[in-house]
Amino acid sequence: MITSHSYNRRGQVQLGETTAVIIIVIILLVIGIVFWSNVSKSNVTTIITQSQELSVIEIANIVPELTELKCYESGVNKVKCLDWYKVLAMNESINNKDDKSAFLFYNDYFKNSKITIVRIYPDVSENQNITIYDAKLDNTAKKLLISIPVNIKDYVSQKTYYGTIIVEGYYNG
Amino acid sequence: MDNKNKNIQNQRMTRTSTHKNNRGQIETFGLAFIVILISIGFFIFVSFKSGQQKDNPQKEFTNDKLANDFVLSILDVSVQDCNAYTVKDLIIDCARDHRICCGGIDSSCTSADSMDSCMAVNKSINIMLNRTFMTTHTKFWFYSENLYYNGNELLNITNLNCTSKSVQGQRGVAVISLYPASLNVYLNLNICYQ
């Protein structure tokens, strides 16, 4: 009788232990899954942000290489050099309020961005910023600003300016 | 006699069983403790890995392009008060000939409103650096090699304590040949990480 009673009690204790172990394992699994899903979510967000940043960088790489803006000397193009009068002409055609065809054409290249050419040195007394393209997005979108140093050639005065191309890329982060 | 023996045997069995039960419980707790420790270690590891700084394409691109494009762009720029010359012309003159005088009407370059090529280079590069990097609070160290003025290197400009001991980002170098002299002048721009 005593032996049978002892076996019964031991069986109950072992059943309790097994149940406790199963509950602990389930809790650990649930915590693990929740934790892992959070980590994965933050990784996906980072990847999306990075790819959007890369698309802004791509725009910043396109601008100084556009034939419509580059300097040519004796038929050979100069690296990292913009022709100031080409910049003025492009500004006029893209920002023409009566004819949006140029804006729509460059929209394929510049997407949701704002591109400004700034003349910095020499003769900096005048206001020499020209925004050649502006998608005019609202201020709620995130913004990535990239500045690229370039030469800006004025073929009339024969001066070479130092300036920057400022690309502000908007994206939803 | 038989009953007495059975009782003693039963008592021994109960004692052994209780002892085994206690040992079993201690082992289970030990195992649970180890599992919990491993789990905590795993969580800490994953948190640490996910918290580590990831690649930042914008930062890499900016550091890469900015340093190289800056040192290459400034060379062809026309200098204020010395429009006939570029920065590169003045650097070569400063390192080799000392003939060019900018501003003023005094060809001997002694009047207050005139400056020699070295001073013109220093002034123009300072303006360009100031308007490009200081406004955006970028850490940088710009310095020249083989461009001496009064026995010292002409250019050694730092912003926000960026020195050779700081964590270095991208470096841009422009090489200017002083041919026929067998020397090169180097303009270096180091961008430091924040």
Distance of CA B149 to the CA centre of its chain: 29
pLDDT at A16 over 60: yes
pLDDT of residue A11: 72
Mean pLDDT of B53-64: 69
Is residue B77 a contact partner of residue B129, using CB atoms and an 8 Å limit?
no
Q: Could you count the other beta carbons within 10 Å of the beta carbon of residue A158? A: 10
State what percent of residues in chain A have pLDDT above 90: 31
Cβ contact, residue pair B13, A3, below 8 Å? yes
B54, B77, B127 member nearest A161 (Cβ): B77
- pLDDT band at B16; cut points 50, 70, 90: low
Report the pLDDT value the prediction gives residue A78, as an integer from 0 to 100: 81
**Which residues does residue A169 pair with via DSSP β-bridges, in sequence order?**
A113, A144
Instruction: Examine the pLDDT at B8 and tell me if it is beyond 80.
Output: no
| ipTM summary value | 0.74
Q: Who has greater pLDDT, A14 or A62?
A: A62
Residue A1 has a pLDDT of 52
- Residue A122 · residue A163 · CB < 8 Å: no
Q: Which residues of A touch B136 (CB under 8 A)?
A: 147
Query: Residue B103: which pLDDT band, with cuts at 50, 70 and 90?
Result: confident
What's the confidence (pLDDT) of residue A123? 75
Give the ranges where chain B is alpha helix by DSSP (H): 2-51, 57-73, 87-92, 117-129
Note whether B153 contacts A: Cβ–Cβ < 8 A: no
pLDDT tens-digit profile of A26-40? 998 898 889 888 888
pLDDT of residue B182: 85
Higher-confidence residue: B120 or A45? B120
User: Phi and psi of A158, rounded to 5°?
Assistant: 65, 25
Task: Retrieve residue B24's tokens.
Answer: 């079993």
Q: What is the pLDDT of residues A116-155, one digit of tens each?
A: 999 998 876 655 889 999 988 766 677 888 889 999 999 9
Residues A84, A88, A90, A91: what is their CA dihedral angle, to the nearest 10 degrees? Answer: 130
What average pLDDT does the structure give for chain B? 82
Distance of alpha carbon B186 from the chain centroid:
21
A29 to chain B: nearest residue by CA? B39
Query: Could you tell me if B8 lies within 8 Å of chain A, comparing CB atoms?
Result: no
Q: In angstroms, rounded to a whole number, what is the distance separating the alpha carbons of residues A81 and A154?
A: 10
| Beta strands at B140-145 and B184-192: parallel, antiparallel or unpaired | antiparallel
- Select from A17, A39, A60 the Cβ nearest to the Cβ of B50: A39
DSSP B101-117: EESSS-TTS-STT-EEH
Return the H-helix or E-strand segment holding A106.
Answer: helix A101-110
CB atoms < 10 A from the CB of B33, how many?
Answer: 10
Q: Which residues of A touch B72 (CB under 8 A)?
A: 79-80
Q: Minimal Cα–Cα distance from B69 to chain A, Å? A: 6
pLDDT at residue number A154: 92
Q: By C-alpha distance, which of B132, B93, B130 is closest to B115?
A: B93
Who has greater pLDDT, B109 or B129? B129
B136-194 per-position pLDDT tens digit: 888 899 999 999 988 889 999 998 888 877 777 788 999 999 988 888 999 999 988 76
Q: Which residue has the higher pLDDT, B184 or B134?
A: B184
Spell out the alpha helix ranges (H) of B52-163.
57-73, 87-92, 117-129
- Mean pLDDT of chain A, nearest integer: 85
Residue A55 has pLDDT above 60, yes or no: yes
pLDDT class of A3 with cuts at 50, 70, 90: low
- Find the closest chain A residue to B131 by CA distance: A120
Q: Is pLDDT at B22 greater than 80 in this prediction?
A: no
The pair of three-digit structure tokens given for residue B1, joined into one six-digit string? 């006699």
Is the pLDDT higher at B15 or at A154? A154
Average pLDDT over residues B70-74: 92
* 8 A C-beta contact, residue A56 and residue A169: yes
Q: How many residues does chain B have?
A: 194
Q: Indicate the SS3 state at residue B175.
A: strand
Q: Could you tell me if A132 and A87 are in contact, meaning their C-beta atoms sit under 8 angstroms apart? A: yes
CA distance B70 to chain A (A): 5
Phi, psi of B53 (to 5 degrees): -65, 130
- Please list, in sequence order, all residues whose beta carbon lies within 8 angstroms of the beta carbon of residue A144, skipping any fewer than 6 positions away: A52, A53, A56, A168, A169, A171, B58
pLDDT value of position B87: 94
Would the pLDDT of B17 be above 70? no
**Which of A51, A162, A171 to probe the B interface (max B CBs under 10 A)?**
A162
